[in-house]
Amino acid sequence: MDATLLIALASIITAGLTISIGTVGPALAEGRAVAQALAAIAQQPDEAATLSRSLFVGLAMIESTAIYCFVVAMILIFANPFWNHFVAATGP
Amino acid sequence: MTISPDQIVWFEFGVIRINATLLFTWLVMALLALGAWRITRRLSSDATLSTGQHLLEVLVLGMRDQVRDIARQDAAPYLPFVGSLFIFIAAGNLLAIVPGFEPPTGSLSTTTALALCVFIATPLYGIRQRGWRAYFRDYLEPTPIMLPLNLVGEAARTLALAVRLYGNVMSGAVVGAILLIITPLFFPVLMHALELLTGVIQAYIFAVLATVYLAAATAAHDIRRPSTAPNPPAPDHSE
């Protein structure tokens, strides 16, 4: 098994693992955050503006962890430095 | 597939290379500057306002109220900086609806530049408001041992600010491209419409986070919790 095949294999599998594992945590966290925010809005509808603003900011912070995983997965697939290095070294 | 408009080169002139990011950044800047110049040429305080003046007044007043609510202080010092960030990012993301336009915020270079602006503006605002001694003492809170962690935190949030905006905008473009391969015609349009919402929300979040950082730098210790003990604060008893 030569190096390029190994790198391609590892990159693809790792990209899939990255995005699948990396979205589970933020998904659970966002579900909890939205549920709590909805409960709070139901209890205090007057504070809906403040609550939803905090909710949006919090959701963005939580979601950014999933976005990091996405960026890493995209780098692994489309801009993999090891792949580029080996392809350049071995020729097309 | 390109994951950054940096790779689309429009023309090269010696060592100067104009890529799509630069071009569209300048386009958005020119559009905003020209629009603002045209509208503010003919301001009126009559009962009848021009459409553009209405738009700008709603925008500026809305941003001022938001900044004041978030920072819990007068919005005037922050409004030019935070407002410019918001309008630039929102305009860049919204113009993605125009065919052929690559949002400049979909490039890590642009978002890093914007995040660096926030990174530099934070100590500037803090020092201007409270003096450099009071500002830099914050890094030694609660103990001087925390100094490296505070510095790392400062850098990490700048990185997070840049990657968050880049990842959100870039993911929209990538998802759109993938959907074009799988289900052409209908779903990409829906995703594109969703991208408009995401773009505005991301611009809002970027501006909110910038406001929070600036407000934390300027007023972190002005709002002291009323202590239950009536004795005057001892020098080693700080929050």
**How far apart are the C-alpha atoms of B1 and B173, rounded to whole Å?**
10
- The chain-wide mean pLDDT, for chain A, equals 87
Question: Is residue A1 very low, low, confident or very high in pLDDT (cuts 50, 70, 90)?
Answer: low
- Within its chain, how far is the Cα of B133 from the centroid? 27
Q: What is the pLDDT of residue B2?
A: 63
**Is the CA virtual torsion B61, B62, B67, B70 positive or negative?**
positive
Q: Which of B163, B204, B212 sits opposite A67 (nearest CB)?
A: B163
Average pLDDT over residues A33-48: 93
- Which residues does chain A have within 8 Å of residue B201's beta carbon, measured at their own beta carbons? 56, 60
Contacts (Cβ under 8 Å, ≥6 apart) of B130: B218
Are B101 and B234 in contact by the 8 Å Cβ rule? The answer is no
Q: Which of B1, B164, B201 sits opposite A67 (nearest CB)?
A: B164
**How far apart are the C-alpha atoms of A10 and A80, rounded to whole Å?**
11
- Tell me which residues of chain B have a pLDDT lower than 50: 223-239
For B178, half-sphere exposure in the C-beta direction (CA atoms, 13 angstrom radius) is 8
Rank A30-44, A72-86, B1-15, B174-188 by mean pLDDT and report only the highest.
Answer: A30-44
Alpha helices in chain B (DSSP H): 20-41, 51-71, 79-94, 108-130, 132-137, 147-182, 187-219
Q: Which of A67, A69, A78, A84 to mutate to test the interface with B (most CBs of B within 10 A)?
A: A67
Q: Which of A59, A71, A72, A78 to mutate to test the interface with B (most CBs of B within 10 A)?
A: A71
CB-CB neighbours of B121 under 10 Å: 18
From the CA of B202, how many Å to the nearest CA of chain A?
A: 8
**Is the CA virtual torsion B46, B47, B53, B58 positive or negative?**
positive
Whether the per-residue pLDDT at A7 is higher than 50: the answer is yes
**How far apart are the C-alpha atoms of B173 and B167, rounded to whole Å?**
10
CB-CB neighbours of B86 under 10 Å: 24
Token pair 């409270």 in the structure block, residue: B130
Q: What is the pLDDT of residue B83?
A: 93
Nearest CA to B110 among B195, B206, B1, B176?
B206
Question: Is residue A40 very low, low, confident or very high in pLDDT (cuts 50, 70, 90)?
Answer: very high
**How far apart are the C-alpha atoms of B100 and B97, rounded to whole Å?**
9
Average pLDDT over residues A39-66: 87
Chain B CA closest to residue A58: B205
Domain ranges of chain A: 3-87
DSSP bridge partners of B13: B16
Give yes or no for B216 touching A (CB within 8 A).
Answer: no
Give yes or no for B202 touching A (CB within 8 A).
Answer: yes
Contacts (Cβ under 8 Å, ≥6 apart) of B215: B70, B71, B72, B73, B78
Q: What is the pLDDT of residue B138?
A: 81
From the CA of B201, how many Å to the nearest CA of chain A?
A: 8
∠ at Cα B58 (B213, B121), nearest 5°? Answer: 20
Q: What is the pLDDT of residue B172?
A: 83
pTM of the model: 0.81
**Is the CA virtual torsion B226, B227, B228, B231 positive or negative?**
negative
Q: What is the pLDDT of residue B3?
A: 66
- Which residues does chain A have within 8 Å of residue B212's beta carbon, measured at their own beta carbons? 57
Token pair in block for residue B103: 């949002």
Q: What's the CATH architecture for A3-87? A: Up-down Bundle (1.20)
Average pLDDT over residues A48-75: 85
For residue B45, the one-letter residue type is: S
